Chain A
């Protein structure tokens, strides 16, 4: 175990697909990537946790509905409750919503089709584990790839999320204009990512792990991983 690099765990559920990509992105950004296994509650002393994209358990009930019952999830919830940074990407976001760590739900895109496309996000807050290095209003380019990414919520949940500044990212134009033309999936208020009250738990539909390596895509994911590594190294004791 090397001394200074923050250890970021990536949970592999049966049906996880972007777990290797998240591990690679952590390593490329200078972190120590740690593979975690759904059936093993041991978080192996990590400083942060990523729930990656994919189709955990085939998403046969509802996206993320079965993954929340995995043995590792009790440990992840405890880690989050203790203030540890937890990021859910795509299917991982769906798992966080199902686990009650974040409000709302993800339903089918309004086109009823899977969409794989580079989109722009407007950063809404820097008070989270993935945006502390970003400025509100800034835009970043990151791909989406999902069939069920339309975030919806009850009016009470929406009021809370909007009223308490818990929107982290909105789909936007490159210049930061938030409108229906730049809403790929019909998400309420163009919401692409949200946080919990403390800002240590973030869920987002876009895939920052596919926006780190300039050889294969845009670079908008880099500041998210940089923030996560920084937040993680700042130290959380569980």
Chain B
């Protein structure tokens, strides 16, 4: 946007000369200013996925449970008994970098409307976040603002925030990664999909909810599809302002409209506002539309037609309604105090015709805005010298291991995130079986014994060193977090957070990340039901780490079988499931203690991973496991410490291994779990482990006030807890 004003309008709107030519060919004439604005937002990276689409098509999207795959507002799976689970993840990183509170808040609002527009009641939110290090004041400001924004919005709409993660990495300083996932539940029969509804010409376009203002003009093109440069504060008017009270009313009114069978279609207004909602609705139905902008309730007079068309004012929905049902729809909106306006009508012929003050101000084919958006096969190149530095695994290490454990436990990636999640309402709706302090959140399906296990994971360091492995590990860890709860992983949504795709190295990271997700999802039989791509996360030449965030949904047939992550009692046998190798590449130990992000990330054998999940699920079903906790950042040492901190029960274990002690403690080998088992159940665990081909080893017992690893670590659990709980408040200067 810093180019001179002599620049042609299409370029200032972010359209290339080729794209401008393509529009001219489609229309058979030069587009006018309003039309250019519409194309610029619809053909933006954010709306069109033009750089990623061809690669995303390689992801596995089918499976027995999948009801709705990618391409709609959200994906959906069948969990039996006529219940559909609808879920999706999205990013709001660019707005949050500029105005953290509103950026994060409106991100929550947007993803919730995606779920509602499918006909589902939102039942859970999760917020995976990556910031720059907390020793930088601006990063502390961003963290505080984002967390307050998530709470400020989420706590006011009656949807519990049950999970997520917060990570820290240098390259995310200028561009924090702010993703949000929402999960909803619907009667499968009520799902509002392109297939389930077939609006006809003559159906009315009803805009309801908030009025339309100048906030968020061109948010998708200006903010989400270009890198943020110096002076980005000037972009602040492009950040939308959220009103959670209006959102709550919108949720209730929308669900009432759907259950009363009053709608032919429903679409939320997000990126690209009315333009996107109307053109997508029309294109899906194979129709066109006539739009009357004078009928759109406005917040201020004198808005230009293009502003009305692309405004991203929040808390608005577009319903498609048969004329005979208009009165009933208006009555429901009235009851919830929401304004409903008839802003247009679906028409034959496929053209979206926009009228304002008695004149036609735009006339374009609906599909030219949506399906016919350009698609690019951008050049991709692996970094010239794939230099991942000297592998830290084999460096000699002499320091005290108890001190080292405390240091890793206090590392911001590992430390307790209570400071953040206590600012979120995790209880509302009364179905939160397990919340943000668990490997996976578990939410009961209202009125049943079923539980949804949901986890979000990313593996930034691994991705920085090897984007393929980073993505595959993220899928595996998300599935493992669901599996340790006793649930069966079913499907994923994903958010691909990367830098500028016009740079071949970033494009390579993108394709490698997608390949990693593909391989892992195929092996684990967890299809991809949708997701989001957030590109241009860079400033100057410095891009964020390639950060695919995976949102995994699994099913627990009976939530009472959920396995907790902490040791519940003394006197239990402690087992390590899976095998440990000398793998400190990209580990938390290497970053925190040695100060390097280097080496090869751990290998990942997806067959072993899958066998582990099956063992966990079989053991949970037979109530064999007293606890199970994923070995992730910081390896078995941190998994043991966290399991002890949980309920305050210590342990005494011995790691019988040939590995150097620090490697045995902190290696991040994949596919491992620390479990505790009642002595009466040990035989059954061993039998199941043999049956599933998972190596397991008894390493000790729970009990006592101390955490003891024979010959290596000896420390009171209370001290571990203080370090783990105290680290984030200390870094924020609040302890």
Contact = CB atoms under 8 A, between A and B. Distances in A.
Interface of A: 14-15, 17-18, 20-21, 24-25, 54-55, 57-60, 113-117, 143, 145, 147, 207, 209-210, 213, 215-217
Given A14-B336, A215-B433, A215-B444, A117 B422 contact: yes
Given A17-B158, A20-B430, A216-B432, A114 B444 contact: no
A200 to B, nearest CB: 26
Contact of A57 (B152, B245, B429, B444): B245
Contacts of B433: 215-216
A57 B246 CA distance: 9
A143 B422 CA distance: 11
6 contacts: A14-B249, A55-B248, A59-B245, A114-B152, A116-B422, A145-B155
Contacts of B244: 55, 58
Given A58-B243, A215-B560, A116 B423 contact: yes
- Among all A-B residue pairs, the 7 with the closest Cβ atoms: A58-B245, A17-B158, A21-B430, A55-B156, A210-B427, A114-B423, A145-B425
B428 interface: yes
Given A113-B423, A215-B560, 13 more contacts: A14-B249, A17-B158, A17-B248, A58-B243, A59-B245, A60-B245, A114-B152, A114-B424, A116-B421, A116-B426, A147-B151, A216-B432, A216-B444
B424 A116 contact: yes
A20 B249 contact: no
B559 interface: yes
Interface centre among B157, B244, B428, B430, by most chain A C-beta atoms within 10 angstroms, is B430
A217 B244 CA distance: 26
B148 interface: yes
Contacts, number: 84
B445 to A, nearest CB: 12
Contacts of A14: 245, 248-249, 336-337
A117 B725 CA distance: 15
A217 B426 CA distance: 11
A114 to B, nearest CB: 5
A55 B156 CA distance: 6
B253 to A, nearest CB: 10
Interface in B379-435: 421-433
Contact of A21 (B152, B243, B428, B559): B428
A113 B158 contact: no
A217 B427 contact: yes
Range, interface on chain B? 20 to 34
A215 B249 CA distance: 29
Interface string B144-162: 0000100110011110000
A147 B560 contact: no
A114 B560 CA distance: 30
Given A14-B249, A60-B245, A117-B422, A216 B156 contact: no
Interface of B: 148, 151-152, 155-158, 243-246, 248-249, 336-337, 421-433, 444, 559-560
Nearest to A56: B245
Given A14-B249, A55-B245, A215-B559, A114 B430 contact: no
Contacts of A59: 156, 245
Nearest to A17: B158
A19 to B, nearest CB: 9
A147 B2 CA distance: 41
A115 B421 CA distance: 9
Contacts of B430: 20-21, 24-25, 209-210, 213, 216
A115 B423 contact: yes
Interface centre among A20, A57, A116, A209 (most CB of B within 10 A): A116
Contacts of B427: 116, 143, 145, 207, 210, 216-217
Given A15-B156, A210-B430, A213-B430, A116 B245 contact: no
- Of the candidates B429, B433, B444, the one having the most CB atoms from chain A within 10 angstroms of its own CB is B429
Centre residue among B244, B249, B422 by max chain A CB count within 10 A: B422
Interface-central residue, B243, B336, B424, B428, by most chain A CB under 10 Å: B428
Given A113-B423, A215-B559, A15 B428 contact: no
Contacts of A58: 156, 243-246
A17 B559 contact: no
Contact of A54 (B148, B151, B158): B158
A15 B423 contact: no
A217 B435 CA distance: 11
Nearest to B156: A55
Contacts of B560: 215
A25 B152 CA distance: 26
A210 B161 CA distance: 15
Nearest to A211: B427
Contacts of B431: 216
A222 to B, nearest CB: 14
A114 B243 contact: no
Contacts of A18: 158, 428
A142 to B, nearest CB: 11
A31 B602 CA distance: 56
A114 B101 CA distance: 14
Contacts of A21: 428-430
A115 B433 CA distance: 19
Contacts of A116: 421-427
Contacts of A210: 427, 430
Contacts of B157: 17
Contact of B248 (A15, A115, A209): A15
A210 B157 CA distance: 17
Contacts of A17: 156-158, 248, 425, 428
B729 to A, nearest CB: 11
B695 to A, nearest CB: 34
B495 to A, nearest CB: 25
Nearest to B337: A14
A105 B178 CA distance: 36
A210 B158 CA distance: 13
B508 to A, nearest CB: 42
Nearest to B421: A116
Contacts of A145: 155, 425, 427-428
Contacts of A25: 430
Nearest to B152: A114
Nearest to B158: A17
A39 to B, nearest CB: 8
B242 to A, nearest CB: 11
Contacts of A209: 430
B420 to A, nearest CB: 10
A15 to B, nearest CB: 5
A15 B559 contact: no
Contacts of B432: 216-217
Nearest to B443: A216
A114 B245 contact: no
A217 B249 CA distance: 28
A109 to B, nearest CB: 10
Contacts of B243: 58
A25 B432 CA distance: 15
Contacts of B248: 14-15, 17, 55
A50 B639 CA distance: 44
Nearest to B426: A116
A69 to B, nearest CB: 14
A34 to B, nearest CB: 18
B722 to A, nearest CB: 15
A213 B155 CA distance: 21
Contact of A113 (B148, B425, B428, B429): B148
